Amino acid sequence: MTIPDALAELSTLLGDRLSRSKSDLDLHGRSETHFAPTPPDAVAYPETTEEVQALARICARHGCPMVGWGAGTSLEGHGLAVRGGVVVDFARMNAVLEVNASDMDCRVQPGITREALNTELRATGLFFPVDPGANASLGGMAATRASGTTAVRYGTMRDNVLGMKVVLADGRVIRTGSRARKSSAGYDLTGLMVGSEGTLGLVTELTLRLYGQPEAISSAICAFPDMGSAVDAVIATIQMCVPMARIEFVDQATVEVFNAAAGADLPAAPHLMVEFHGSDASVAEDARRFGEIAGEFGATGFRWATLAEERNKLWKMRHDAYWSILQSRPGATAIVTDICVPLSKLAEAVEETRADIAGSFIPGPILGHVGDGNFHAILMARRDSAEEMDEAKRLSGRLADRALRLGGTVTGEHGIGMGKLGYMEREHGAGWSVMGDIKRALDPQDLMNPGKLVPPA
């Protein structure tokens, strides 16, 4: 009953789709942020639910950890096999299985990326809106309860996953949810699995809610005299129920990176980036109302993008922000914070964070999905400087404290992985022990992504 025994059987099951090549192990042992590389013992590339089930049974028999893997873009070391074992990469399970245009839903395999899904949907007139910037997989997005720029309008993965097929630690396969729009038939297992970060099971299918592609889309970026005005403009916009499809804040440091990395020529000031979806008339009206509100808070230099090409350029700049910011400080690694607070506390949270970082010796551009009360500071520390790493962690801890003090959460969308484990007790109190109870009930051997999310056994 050892990991090598499991790998021998898995190799019989999967043939050369069980990889032990160094490059594969290294690729699946790295994380996007500051966590130390941790290569697994093997990488599996299953092609069917049945194979995942067989894999889970083998791993259960031999006590071998199983860690799901989508696109590897998560930011808290979610996918690192910290107790060894096998990483289950869903790259070969990336098909769209069914699109129901009249019910506006679809069934997909977990390995498909959001960009590939939307490319496949293009001709149907429908789209899947959740957009974490990175070209993440739908399985990974469900596992982290991802959201992103469009959550203010379309919700998060919590709202947009209707059902799943999941392989549990003991090899049971369950189907959660249904294609009905609502149900009261027992515990919400879909909701339990969304955000469980692969610690309760491996997702092999997802049923997703789709939306009609908007007739008209219009985007804009505009500058504000200071951070406070930009944030206040957001709060006013949301409170006046202007139906924003996106409303993103980027601080001056981020804008300077845009100018340097993406060849933009924006004034060195905090900006909002916005988007409207609807009919030609409604988009025009929403834009007008937003312009009016933003104007009251001193917005200037509006640049509108209505052509797809211009819009794509704008949002590519935003989506690449994380990488561009990292590149702006060679040798640095990122500690990404992700707090989310009630809207009425947003100005306070952002302002305190700005002051905190200004008083520190490491840089931390601030940007985020402010329509939800969610923002990030990308704290950049040199990996080889213990002093800088400590300082980044201190700032990150202060952000977490701030979020909790203001009635919010330490992670609006990135999840716990290992990076936020230390805050779980404070955020959830006894609730965290309940998460541990649930974990033990479904995975008593602690084989599904061990070392993440729940209290250490």
Ligand X SMILES: Cc1cc2nc3c(=O)[nH]c(=O)nc-3n(C[C@H](O)[C@H](O)[C@H](O)COP(=O)(O)OP(=O)(O)OC[C@H]3O[C@@H](n4cnc5c(N)ncnc54)[C@H](O)[C@@H]3O)c2cc1C
Least gap, CB of 287 to ligand X (angstroms): 23
380-419 binders of ligand X (CB under 6 A)? 413-414
Least gap, CB of 154 to a second copy (angstroms): 12
| 133: contact with ligand X by CB under 6 A | yes
Q: How many CB atoms sit inside 10 A of residue 309's CB?
A: 8
| 350: contact with ligand X by CB under 6 A | no
425-454 binders of ligand X (CB under 6 A)? 449
Of 18, 112, 117, 134, which one interacts with ligand X (CB under 6 A)?
A: 134
Contact 40, 29 (CB under 8 A): yes
User: Could you give the strand order of the β-sheet that contains 173-177, starting from the edge strand earlier in sequence?
Assistant: 96-100, 105-108, 201-209, 161-168, 173-177
Least gap, CB of 74 to ligand X (angstroms): 3
342-381 binders of a second copy (CB under 8 A)? 342-344, 372-374
Q: Choose the one of a second copy, ligand X, none that binds residue 342, judging by a C-beta under 5 to 8 angstroms depending on kind.
A: a second copy
Q: Choose the one of ligand X, a second copy, none that binds residue 276, judging by a C-beta under 5 to 8 angstroms depending on kind.
A: none
**Cβ-proximal residues to 146 (8 Å cutoff; 6+ apart), any chain:** 130, 132, 136, 140, 156, 157, 413
Largest CA distance in the chain: 68
Of 322, 375, 423, 432, which one interacts with ligand X (CB under 6 A)?
A: 322
| 132: contact with ligand X by CB under 6 A | yes
Of 40, 46, 85, 148, which one interacts with ligand X (CB under 6 A)?
A: 148
| 270: contact with ligand X by CB under 6 A | no
Residue 95 or 343: the one with the smaller Cβ distance to a second copy is 343
| 420: contact with ligand X by CB under 6 A | no
Backbone angles phi, psi at 440, to 5 degrees: -65, -35
Q: Choose the one of ligand X, a second copy, none that binds residue 174, judging by a C-beta under 5 to 8 angstroms depending on kind.
A: a second copy
111-150 binders of a second copy (CB under 8 A)? 144-147
Cα(111)–Cα(49) distance, integer angstroms: 12
| 416: contact with a second copy by CB under 8 A | yes
Stretch that binds ligand X, among 143-151, 341-349, 352-360, 420-428 (CB under 6 A): 143-151
Q: Are strands 86-89 and 96-100 parallel, antiparallel or unpaired?
A: unpaired
| 409: contact with a second copy by CB under 8 A | yes
253-292 binders of a second copy (CB under 8 A)? none
| Angle between helix 421-428 and 386-405 (nearest 10) | 20
The amino acid sitting at 181 is R
**Cβ-proximal residues to 206 (8 Å cutoff; 6+ apart), any chain:** 107, 108, 109, 110, 138, 139, 142, 161, 163, 164, 165
Of 38, 49, 94, 137, which one interacts with ligand X (CB under 6 A)?
A: 137
The amino acid sitting at 268 is A
Binding mask 427-456 for a second copy (x = CB under 8 A): xxxxxxxxx-xx-xxx----------xx--
Residue 351 or 427: the one with the smaller Cβ distance to a second copy is 427
CA distances (Å), origin 409, targets 30, 153, 224, 437: 27, 20, 27, 21
165-184 binders of a second copy (CB under 8 A)? 168, 172-176, 178-184
DSSP 13: H
Q: What three-state secondary structure class fits 213?
A: coil
Residue 112 or 357: the one with the smaller Cβ distance to ligand X is 112
Nearest to 85 by CA among 3, 160, 143: 3
Helix (H) or strand (E) holding 26: helix 22-27
The amino acid sitting at 180 is A
Q: Choose the one of ligand X, a second copy, none that binds residue 451, judging by a C-beta under 5 to 8 angstroms depending on kind.
A: none
Q: Choose the one of a second copy, ligand X, none that binds residue 429, judging by a C-beta under 5 to 8 angstroms depending on kind.
A: a second copy
Q: Choose the one of a second copy, ligand X, none that binds residue 331, judging by a C-beta under 5 to 8 angstroms depending on kind.
A: none
DSSP letters, 46-62, are --SHHHHHHHHHHHHHH
Contacts with ligand X, residue ranges (CB under 6 A): 32, 67-75, 78-79, 90, 110, 132-134, 136-137, 139-141, 143-144, 146-148, 197-198, 202-203, 322, 413-414, 449
